[in-house]
Amino acid sequence: MPYPLKAYTLQRALTLKYLHGLSDNAAAKQLDAPIRTIQRNIAAIEKILRPIEKVETYVQKRVSILTAIELKIIEHMADAGVLKRASINNLAYAFQQIHTARRLEEGKSTANIQYADAIRARAEVDRARKEISERYEV
């Protein structure tokens, strides 16, 4: 069984392969190490890096992935058989979640009143207060 490479040699092998484009065989010759040792050590590193590549892909495409999952869930929820088997509580909860998501997508508040409505109401109160003050000289 080939020996594990020292950290420096492994780093050099990875540099030769990935940064300089050398083959495993060329890297082994340059490092004066057995080809099989180079291949096994690089394979071990690649095994560690594969999940990182998946994570990076997920991060880059997260919105699309979540949107696709959301669509699958909505399609499932909209199935007539699923709707018939669902309890009224489950349906009410699902409706609330979808309603909230839709309002957020529309840029609306998810609270009972929107912030803009509260500001307009406050302005009306201020105008009325000013009018009363002026009328009754308070």
Q: Which of 1-10, 29-38, 62-71 has the lowest mean pLDDT?
A: 1-10
The reported pTM is 0.39
Instruction: Give residue-wise pLDDT tens across range 100-125.
Output: 888 888 887 776 656 777 788 888 88
Contact 114, 108 (CB under 8 A): yes
Q: What tens digit of pLDDT does each residue of 14-38 get?
A: 999 989 999 999 999 999 999 999 9
Domain spans of the chain, in order of start: 7-107
Tokens of 23: 């083959």
Instruction: Determine contact, residues 37/2, Cβ cutoff 8 Å.
Output: yes
- Region 44-69 average pLDDT: 85
- Kindly state the DSSP code that residue 16 receives in the 8-state scheme: I
* Listed residue (78, 80, 12) closest to 42, CA to CA: 12
Q: So what's the pLDDT on residue 36?
A: 92
Q: What is the overall mean pLDDT for the chain? A: 84
